[in-house]
Structure 1
Amino acid sequence: MEPLNLFYEEPEPDRWFRYDRYPRRLIRRIVRGKPKPGGQQMVAINLMKGLDKLGFPYRFNNYSYIKKHQNEIACIIGKPHVLLERRWINPVILGASVYAHASEEPDLFTKHPNVKRILVPGEWMRMMFEPFYGDKVVAWPVGIDTNEWQPHNGSKTHDFLIYDKIRWNYDAQKATLIDPILNAIQKRGLSYQTIRYGHYKPADLAQKLSISKAAIFLCEHETQGLAYQQILATGTPILAWDNGGYWLDPVYYPEIKFGPVSSVPYWDERCGSKFQDINHFDTALTGFLAKLETFTPRQYIMENLTLEQCAKHYISIYQQVKKELNN
């Protein structure tokens, strides 16, 4: 098997003087400890985990090798600066950690004709990119580590874990969505705990899930949604706020309007239930609780989003590009 040539780097520009990013990196490591991988970096990490499970070889950030083998495909997982700051001659598969919107680089394939595919995390994002990139944009989700995220058979002391990933207009959303949800739960005598995106370690999420019967997932929209899929992988059903509507990133909205989007883009009836807004929450909660024991969310993950399955999908995209290059 021909190894994949994978590339991923976090952007780290110089701030005050040339090359000061290196001492700043060392100082951060000393002061803060080992950095925690972010969601986009996890795309690279979990792809490599999947390839390891398949026994499929790869090189990681081997710029010296790829420069000497210009006919081989460079798989630039992200971020865009890895493509833009180097002179790539190799054919390129770019993504899935790339642009928030194609308008950031509408002439991508003109400026970089060696880019053969651009990968995005999910289908609604693919549809948003399609007017710019046509059939060269492909939806590809990274896999979930189902060994790390497993069901816990101990005592469940809480009815719900509320996962709060509200990103914009937080005070308003707290008043109109979060607080009414908490009030509705309390009125029913149900117990809950909360966790907020960006303010926890993976071990914190795992611990809270281990004592929760179910989860409520609150997020405007997700391109893939690793956290809610980790929750599903533990066998924890989710009642998800899935408002639909427009993509609300304030950098782009309302100048750019695209919809409908989803907070749970990978989902079927085994995962749990959804509600559109607070007016539908109480009815959705009643139905969710009635069916709680029938949901099988881990089964959905095992059939669709394991490390191995998603790595195989990536390999198939690579092989398709390679076939086209050889024709």
Structure 2
Amino acid sequence: MYHIKFNIRCSTEVVYYFFKIHTAIISKRIPLKYTMRFVQVGHSHKMNEEAFIRGCILFGIEYEKVDTVSDISGQPDLIWAPGFWIDPTLFPNTKFMFGPQFFVFPTKDGSLAIYKKGSVADRCLYNCLSEWNLCIHSAFLSNPVVPYACLPFGVDTESMKPNPKVQKKEYILIYWKLRDSANMQHVVDILIKNKLLFKVVKYGFYKSDEYHKLLLESKLCIWLGRHESQGFAFQEALSYNVPLLVYDVLDMKEEVNDYNISAYASYHSISLSATSAAFWDPICGEKTTNPKDIDPLLKKMMAGLDKYRPREFVERELSDKVCFKRMLDRFGLLS
């Protein structure tokens, strides 16, 4: 007998996703015994939300999503508030994970700076996702009322994996997201010079299933992206075991719009150190910020693609189980 309780108020798409996961678990005949209750208040990035749900299911935790604080009943074991502050004293027995969508940069007059009702740092944190983003947050607000933490959301390695029945194509994939067109032209010129076929995936102009199909077929991807605090599309490529040649950024100001105007031009006087590869290991591929390195690194990778094993890194550091356990450990919620 399997008891499933759905306490979820969100989009039809996420509801369908929730039922789909539960159906898969029941088909494997895994008993669901809720040990804790986690409540999400408000909306988050779709991929964050789906990963959080998968984690709850993996660890037998009841998941509920509500719109407002007044919708929360009782004292949940954990409240996740992705986009706004909740007074922790309203739930004295509850752990809180805030973020990662409060702001781009914290301010000295924001909720993480002005809360004055006593210390709640022992049971609350703000999730910055990755180390470089934590450093940026600390530069803008060095003493938040709750500590910063790096707790990336899990990658669905069960559905995003190589298929040995799919033959790799000869083309190289280029992923282009909000980087100067001159950078893109540089990459294209190198591929043409080396007589290499390529396909381009441009951010905002593709569907997820199309991208995943290309990853299944691709033997190599050149990554030309802006900064990423986590970077799901980046990590999906790694999960499909596609080695990446990352033409990395040094600063958030390298993100541009369609007119090659920097999205952070107003911060021209300060450093906003960043990276496209928030989580990385040399087994994932090669990485550089120097355009002169692209050609020799491409040749190096093409001559030895078999030595790269990006999926191993994702399974070790970014799978659903690993990421959710990391969060539970951080809150001391694993017995």
Give TM class, smaller chain. 0.7 to 0.9
> Using the alignment, how far apart are the partners of 2:302 and 2:282 within structure 1?
14
- The aligned residue for residue 98 of structure 1 is 102
Give the TM-score, by structure 1 length.
0.77
Which is helix-richer, 1 or 2? Answer: 1
Mark the CA change 1:56 to 1:286 in structure 2 (over 3 Å): closer, same or farther: same
- The alpha-carbon deviation at position 235 of structure 1 amounts to 0.8
- The alpha-carbon deviation at position 301 of structure 1 amounts to 0.4
- The aligned residue for residue 272 of structure 1 is 285
Q: Cα deviation per residue 1:302-321 (whole Å; 9 max; x = unaligned)?
A: 0000011111112223337x
Q: Tell me if the contact between 1:161 and 1:195 (Cα under 8 Å) persists in the aligned partners.
A: yes
Mark the CA change 1:280 to 1:7 in structure 2 (over 3 Å): closer, same or farther: same
- Where does the alignment leave 5 or more consecutive residues of structure 2 unmatched? 1-34, 256-262
- The aligned residue for residue 218 of structure 1 is 224
Q: Cα deviation per residue 1:96-133 (whole Å; 9 max; x = unaligned)?
A: 23321112854524237567211111100111112415
- The alpha-carbon deviation at position 214 of structure 1 amounts to 0.7
> Using the alignment, how far apart are the partners of 1:9 and 1:47 within structure 2?
12
Q: Tell me if the contact between 1:215 and 1:237 (Cα under 8 Å) persists in the aligned partners.
A: yes
Mark the CA change 1:53 to 1:74 in structure 2 (over 3 Å): closer, same or farther: closer
- The alpha-carbon deviation at position 67 of structure 1 amounts to 4.2
Q: Tell me if the contact between 1:246 and 1:257 (Cα under 8 Å) persists in the aligned partners.
A: no
- The aligned residue for residue 160 of structure 1 is 172
1:180 to 181, 186, 191: 186
Aligned residues: 283
- Say yes or no: does 1:55 pair with 2:89: no
State the identity %: 20
Q: Tell me if the contact between 1:66 and 1:74 (Cα under 8 Å) persists in the aligned partners.
A: no
- Say yes or no: does 1:75 pair with 2:109: no
- The aligned residue for residue 233 of structure 1 is 239
Q: Tell me if the contact between 1:5 and 1:66 (Cα under 8 Å) persists in the aligned partners.
A: no
Q: Tell me if the contact between 2:55 and 2:320 (Cα under 8 Å) persists in the aligned partners.
A: yes
Mark the CA change 1:289 to 1:141 in structure 2 (over 3 Å): closer, same or farther: same
> Using the alignment, how far apart are the partners of 2:40 and 2:186 within structure 1?
46
Give the TM-score, by structure 2 length.
0.75
Q: Tell me if the contact between 1:239 and 1:285 (Cα under 8 Å) persists in the aligned partners.
A: yes
Tell me which of the two structures has the higher relative contact order, counting C-alpha pairs closer than 8 angstroms and 6 or more residues apart: 1
Q: Tell me if the contact between 2:39 and 2:80 (Cα under 8 Å) persists in the aligned partners.
A: yes
- The root-mean-square deviation of aligned C-alpha atoms, in Å, is 2.9
> Using the alignment, how far apart are the partners of 1:112 and 1:41 within structure 2?
32
- The aligned residue for residue 170 of structure 1 is none
Mark the CA change 1:319 to 1:112 in structure 2 (over 3 Å): closer, same or farther: farther
